[in-house]
A and B are shown apart, each in its own frame.
Chain A
Amino acid sequence: MTEFFQSFGMPYEWAWTVATLAAIVVISLLVMLSVAMVIFVDRKVIAAVSLRRGPNVVGPFGLMQSFADGLKVFLQETIIPSAANKGIFLLAPIITFTVALAAWAVIPFDAGWVVADINVGLLYILAISSLGVYGVVMSGWASNSKYPFFSAMRAAAQMISYEVSIGFVLVCVVLWAGTFNMSGIVEAQRGHGLGIVNGFFFNLLLFPIFVVFFISALAETARAPFDLTEAESELVAGYQTEYSSMAFALFWLGEYANILLMCSLCTLLFFGGWLPPIDWAPLYIVPGIFWFLTKTFFFFLVFSWIWATVPRYRYDQLMRLGWKVFLPMSLVFVAAISGYLMAIGHFDRPAPDAPPIMEETEFVEAAPAVQGAERDPS
């Protein structure tokens, strides 16, 4: 896209900036649109499981329900509790929403379709998702209300606990893929299972790790059965109790954007991203984005299926699962997988060819060179 803007006579730097901004806007809009549709799907699935009809009034099949809700919420009055810490109270939903969108910068939708094809893509996602705690904690504290504060404490402890095992799971994947680059990880899965199937999922050593990752993803996004942060029988509505109108909607959107992000991470890390499930030439005719979206949507269906069927955990059970089951298990698997890879000489071969890096990254990497040149004379 940089060339497109350069053709208007812009210098390279500015063309790159404008192109990146345009890509950010497009991805944000698409994520928001899919969040709206996915909320509808979620409600439909839960309705189907509990033998109800679900939303079916607004638009054909009720498809416009989320947009109607969004409009309603948008037109409502924003109520700020008088005892609340006003600045932080308003900042918290903004942070939740921004952080949920920011992580999408390194998600490759197809070969080369990524805003920032950085070397540390997976670490970036870890970093951004660890920021998600702040929106929750700040909202709980700033509301100056007991229930939101309880919920915020629960959410923060839960997110930190499960981030640990997610980190170890990612280490296993990175060990096998040999790169932190998201596109590189997907490429490493090409023909992974006996040259027939694409994806780390079909690897016997990585499959248990996938299960750990999936359950941790449920806990990380505070979805059922780990939705203790908004356990309505105990905490009214969790950390968002005091919020109304758009501030509330931002929490809601951020939460679903995070869920979609976790689904797409499952796809990218274990199910071969944009690659077709079977490494068979005719399947490559289908555009990669179709495979990516299908797999992500499949994981979202599993998420809402679990929400509809599994009862909520008790908090001590949640902590026990995170610290006493998943953490030792993922540690053992890090040791086992690195041992196995050492034994078969996996690390002796050169790193997998990263896909052609888009022209965007060249500019980023040019920056240190320029500054290094300035430093030399001193």
Chain B
Amino acid sequence: MSGEAPLVSFTGVTRFYGEGGGLVRALAGVDLTINRGEFIAIMGPSGSGKSTAMNIIGCLDRPSSGSFTLLGVEVNHLSQDQRALLRRNFVGFVFQGFNLLNRTTAIENVELPLIYRGMGRRERRERAREALHRVGLQGREHHTPGELSGGQQQRVAIARAIVTDPLLLLADEPTGNLDSQRSLEIMELIARLNEERGITVVMVTHEPGMAGFAHRIIRFVDGRIASDEQRAAA
């Protein structure tokens, strides 16, 4: 983990899906650098490649060509398991649809990444409780997702993403399923995590109001970066 290397670096990254006539170009040569501590919003119409870029940053996907490094590590040639280890140790995901395990309680959902790290039960419970506390869900530990509101479910998902103390929090339309009041609360929570804990946040959104929380807004059009705008910190 060299201090010099940027957290994320794209150099001429392309990504194609399908073959022959059905070939779809999702990314058409993207250069991008993300440093630690940034709060970035990625915007763009659907099909512009922003989700593909997120998946690559999250080590869920690999570029078809070009170079993508996370913490200076070239990810292109890593196996699925090696990428899983990167995700496990450095990346937290928050999805639009929350993606919680419906049959397990809030605290069990939050514990899940720690189980895969092989952490002992007691320490796991402790850290999961602390993470839920941090997102304002104390007292809801033993509710299942079905017993929680959308905003609360997204808080559980955020707790699950930050319970491992990741460097990078990836949020794919985190407020897409929430009303405006809950959306603001979630955005404030994410901004606070960025500010207070120094977690780098990369968020895909198409709501300008939500993007307003970020310090840097990157717009994708047709698989390329159309604009990359630094904003004064609010």
Tell me whether A and B are bound partners. Answer: no
Q: Report which A residues bind B (CB closer than 8 A).
A: none
Residues of B near any A CB (own CB < 8 A): none
